[in-house]
Structures are given as C-alpha cells and as structure tokens.
Structure 1
C-alpha cells in the first residue's frame, strides 16, 4: 500500500521549501546554474516570485559554438538571454493559453502556443516545454528543450534586416502590406530571393503588372495565427490570409517539411515579437493563379 502511494506521488513534482535556485540544482540543470551565477542573477531569482523556463544542459549544447562563446564572454548579453527565460509571478501550466504573451524580465514578451492536434504540445517562443510545474517556494520551473533567444523585432523588421529577403520586402512595400505584417499572432512562410528567381522573369513581370494578384500571392504566405514547427503535422492544411482563405498543405518527407508538395521549408522558428517566420525555397501560388502565373 505504501509503495503504491509512493509511486503515485513520484509522478508529480513537489519541493519542500526549496527556492528556485535549489530546484534548478535538484533538476541537475548545471549549465543553466553556472550561467546564472556567471551573470550575477542568482540573488535576483531569490528576490521575488518568478516562473523560470529552464533549458536543459543538452539545450545549451545545441547552441552554435559561436553563440555560446559570445554569451560566455559578454555578461550583459548573457544576462539579457537568461532574463528572457524568467517571467514575474507563478505561471503554471493551467494558466497557459494559446497566443498568451507574458513580459519577461528582459522586457520582451514570451509567447505561449498550444497545439491541440499535436498531442497538446505547449511551446514558449516555439520551444517545447518538456516538463511542467516543478514547484519552488518562490515560484515554478518549467523545463524546455532549447534556449530561447529574444527576438530582435517584428516580422517586417527581421525580413528587412536580412539580405536574403530583399525581393520579398520590396514586394511587400510595393503592395502596402507592411502594416498588415506588423499585426500580432502571424506566421509568415518567407520565400528567399532565390525562391522568387525560380519563378522566372515572365511570372515576376505578370505579378508586377497585376497588383491584385501580387497582393493575393503575398498574403497566401501569411497565416493569421502563430505556428511554430512543433505545431506542424503531416497533411495539415493552414488557412492563409488571402481574401479566399486559400489553404497551404503541410507534408513531411523523412526529416523535411514541404508546403504544397513543392516548396521546402529550409529554416524554421525564427521568432518575432509578433509571431514567427519560416524560410521556404519556392514561392507559394494559390491554385486559382497557378496556371496563369506559372504555366501560362
């Protein structure tokens, strides 16, 4: 009987008066603890009630070596990244809702997403939460499987700052869609300059001569809610922001993700303050324009 009760209790996370730093130690998150101490944030974690999204040791190992070296040598940058993993108050799993945004100690909000059709996966800025509600005397810890990097701006800012999206940005500006892409809770599948070049000069000329078609094609790359890669699943259909609400089909092949079978997702989960960007290698064209634009 007592053994049975012990097994049941062991399925839950309890601490008995341990503070957040002690809980992190109990969970053997040695890399995080070392960096918290290096950034001089250990005392700050004891000065109030907080929720910590705690990356595992493996999560830090997955960072590019140059990123980890930079953070290790720049105390302010390291502190900013670590503060992005902490929010004031005790936020348990039961308080999370899809698209909920909570300001972090870094000043930038962390976005929750819940994907009911993908085993109720819960993410913060696209990073999967692998363990919830590890209670401390002054807050709660959730364990995550990647390190979150604070976004540098909104979707338009990020696209504008990257040389691979100059064609996309110019078309967005030509059609007056920049303001729309600054709205909240958006996902953009962003074609690179090379993706536009694959359309061919004739197709690009047709788009430039038809502002309505160009606008519709661009909006076909935008989904009016935030979808990180952890929420995508095979044969999913994402409704786009174009006027017809045309859908984008997601398909998986081995470890690759395709949209409409022909456009491969080459980079995922670029977090923006108002949503997410995924990079694709072909321009998506709604069926109603495909024959005229691509074949005709």
Structure 2
C-alpha cells in the first residue's frame, strides 16, 4: 500500500553525483543545494556542530551530518542524525490540488488546472449540507486514498455531462474518483478493477503501443504517482462518470463488453423531440437493442420495414421517419422498471407509443444473460444500467410494434384495429373493407385492384373514409 512512498523517501536520501563534505564547506563556492533521485531538492547549510565530533553541515536545516565522507566503490556516504522528509510528507491530497505551487511532476498548465479543480470542489460543496459527500474533508483526512484527479480542462470538456446534475449526482461523480487504499500506477494493470467510494468499479486498460499509457475507464492517466501523506494522486484527462450519473447517450455511445449500441444511438438522434423526451423525462426505462440486433432483422420481418427503417436510404427523410420514431418509442417505458420488478412478477407495461410489451421468464441463452424476455424473443442480456433519469436494459433483438406485421389492408379489415381509433371508427373501417369487397367483387383483372395494392409492400399513403362518409 505505501511501498512507493517509502521508495520515494529513500530516493530523497540519494544524489546522482558525488558530493564530499568539502564541496559544502567551501567558504567561496560552497554547495547550497542539490537534486535527489526523486527529483526534489535538498538544501545545505552550515552551522554550529551539535557535538564536538559532528560536522556542522545540515541538510534541510534539521539533519546534521555526524560522520562525513565514508568512501564506497561508487561514491560517498554521509551519516545524518535525522530522516530527510520529502515535501509530500507535509501535504495531503487536498493540499496538492489546492496549492498554487503543486508538485514538480506536473507540467505548468496542469498545475493551474488542479488549482481550478479545488475551486470546482468548493463550488460544488459550498451549499452542501453536512450529510453530503464531503470530498474536501476526505482528501484532507489521514487516508490512505487514491484519487483520480481530472484537470479543469477535463471538466470543461465534459461540461455537458455535468451541467444538469444536482448536488447528489455531482457528489456521486466526485466520489467515483476516489478509492480507499493506496494504488500506484504499477499495480493498475490491464483488466484490474477498483471499487470507488461511490460504490461502482473503475477498470484499467494498458495501451499496448509501447507508450506505457494506462487508462481508467476511457480516460488517460497523464501524470501518475503524485504522492501525498494520505495517499496518491493520478491526474487524468477526463471526468469519470458513474452509471447513475450518465445520461442515455453516454450509455449508447459506450461499446464496452462488445455490446455496441451505436446504431440505436444513431437512430435516436434523428429526432430532436425524442432526444428531449429521453433527456427530460424524470423516469424512463429503455430497452436498447445491440447493433447485432438491428443487423439480424431477417426475412421474418416485413422486408420493407427492415430496409426502409433501418438500412435504407430513407432513414433521414420524411418518408418512413414516423415509422422509425414509433419503433424507437416502443423501446421506452415512461416509468423505471428494474429487472427485479420483472423477476418478481411484472407481466407487461405500456411504452411511449401507447403499445404494450410483454415480459416472460425463461432459460438464459448464455450464462451471463438474464433469462428475462421481452415479447418472447428479445432477451435482456445486460440489465439495470443506471442512468441519470432511469435505467437501461440491453436486449438482443429489436422490439417490433404490432403495425410491423400489418398492411394497410389488415388495418381496415381487422376486427380489432389500432388503438388510435375511437370505437365507432373502428367499426367504420371494418365496414369500409366490406364496401371495398362489394365494389371489387365483380371487377375483372384489369380493373384498379385496391385490396391487392393495400396488401402489397408499398409504401402508400391512404386517406380512408369511414363508412359513415360513404353513406353521406
């Protein structure tokens, strides 16, 4: 836990050059300071010897050389009467991010950034009550802690993710940057995980390009191993966002675990109003199909739907835009439904397009899947991903609203037409179908064959009079 700190302290006792005591006592050119192996300076002063046999040479004012110039094969040794303490011994983590003169390990612009980080902390917590997560006090306590400290540039880069968070959510974000225990970069190997004070895990990745770069989640550690007396700081170039403080688009843009949701994300952003709904509604549950789910829509789905909605050239035009929006709405519930609600017995729920989806429990397809099925053939393969206003379940098939399997002729022929229609018009449209049959039952093959047209792939727009309209 504290091995790097001890190593650094020991390095503070070694100079990479030979300095005999005469170099220090020389009255004209006496050495005043030198840089140790840990890249920190030590200061030499001359004073009255404590004992007759001592030298009167002091290092950092309080460590006297009591036995000088012991020759060794590759240098020289001076015995001192106190341990030399590097600057971090007197600095907490909070001091490091608050100090106008932070550690030498940091480039100048990052120094300023970390001071701004302290200002950000003060801003976040200035109105927080005593029950809030009090990060400044934690960073000033005995520890030990490991802190992944974003620069202020990182905060600016990720401002859009943070600006709508309330104090509880900001506290969650900040506590997601702190781990109990001291972990130098050397232990942050590829695949290693740590549990933060926020409760969720962070994962580390080693970049294999020879640079030695380590990443935490998707952010790069740009300056590792800044030591403090209560832990260690790693400076990172982005803000770590825990699941519960992410919005839907943070999740859909994340391809972790090969469950890439980028196509779902691509379709959603076509609709600004739908995006606003997903961001603004206080409680939502999203069933997010993977890219493979969209790509695997096969011949069992009406081909025109699969082509025109999902892969065809009309995706961003008005022709099928309402259909796609309705399909996307069919993947969103206006309430929060964790998987435990379903395993406890929830059978169905109504989506944003006012259609029901059905939940069933079965045998999981793979060991890591849930055995929760939506509309019988879409399994929840990754459940309960928290977002700022609800929850996301990743599914392995696209949910298809009822209209996908209905032609226009089906709609005017069905004894149970779409829910959008009032009861009297439902009946009217059935009568319209009967009227159509009456009109065309004696028509020859060269006549205008409306029923077959209304049952063909299309696409068509039909202005359908009610039977009452025909009577008029």
Q: TM-score, normalised by structure 2?
A: 0.33
Q: Map 1:95-106; keep pairs closer than 5 Å.
A: 105-106=83-84
Distance 1:81 1:276, change over 3 A: farther
Q: Per-residue CA shift, 1:129-171, capped at 9, x if unaligned?
A: xxxxxxxxxxxxxxxxxxx664451000110114212442133
Per-residue deviation, 1:75 = 1.4
**2:92 paired with 1:158:** no
Alignment RMSD (CA, Å): 3.4
Q: Map 1:59-98; keep pairs closer than 5 Å.
A: 60=37, 63=39, 71=42, 74-75=43-44, 79-80=59-60
Distance 1:169 1:152, change over 3 A: same
Q: Map 1:94-243; keep pairs closer than 5 Å.
A: 105-106=83-84, 108=85, 150-161=88-99, 162-173=111-122, 174-175=124-125, 176-183=134-141, 184-200=143-159, 202-207=160-165, 210-242=166-198
SS at match of 2:205: strand
Per-residue deviation, 1:82 = 11
Q: Name the CA distance, whole Å, in 2 between partners of 1:292 and 1:81.
A: 58
Aligned partner of 1:34 in structure 2 is 18
Q: Which has the higher strand share?
A: 1
Q: Name the CA distance, whole Å, in 2 between partners of 1:172 and 1:291.
A: 22
**2:204 paired with 1:250:** yes
SS at match of 1:105: coil
Q: Per-residue CA shift, 1:19-68, capped at 9, x if unaligned?
A: xxxxxxxxxx995683484798xxxxxxxxxxxxxxxxxx83x84xxx6x
Q: Name the CA distance, whole Å, in 2 between partners of 1:39 and 1:273.
A: 33
Q: Per-residue CA shift, 1:200-247, capped at 9, x if unaligned?
A: 3x333213xx000000100000001111112221110011011xx101
Q: In the alignment, is the contact (CA less than 8 A) between 2:161 and 2:246 conserved in 1?
A: no
SS at match of 2:247: helix
Distance 1:36 1:195, change over 3 A: farther
Aligned partner of 2:103 in structure 1 is none
Structure 1, unaligned runs of 5 or more: 1-28, 41-58, 84-103, 109-147
Distance 1:272 1:150, change over 3 A: closer
**2:275 paired with 1:275:** no
Q: Per-residue CA shift, 1:184-214, capped at 9, x if unaligned?
A: 10010000011001113x333213xx00000
Query: Which structure has the greater CA radius of gyration?
Result: 2
Distance 1:82 1:39, change over 3 A: farther
Q: Map 1:16-27; keep pairs closer than 5 Å.
A: none
Aligned partner of 1:49 in structure 2 is none
Q: Name the CA distance, whole Å, in 2 between partners of 1:36 and 1:188.
A: 40
Aligned partner of 1:259 in structure 2 is 216
Q: Name the CA distance, whole Å, in 2 between partners of 1:198 and 1:235.
A: 26
Q: Name the CA distance, whole Å, in 2 between partners of 1:36 and 1:151.
A: 27
| Higher RCO, Cα 8 Å, sep 6+ | 1
Q: In the alignment, is the contact (CA less than 8 A) between 1:186 and 1:274 conserved in 2?
A: yes
SS at match of 2:164: helix
Distance 1:158 1:35, change over 3 A: farther
Aligned partner of 1:96 in structure 2 is none
Structure 2, unaligned runs of 5 or more: 1-12, 25-35, 46-57, 64-81, 100-110, 126-133, 252-278, 280-472
Q: TM-score, normalised by structure 1?
A: 0.51
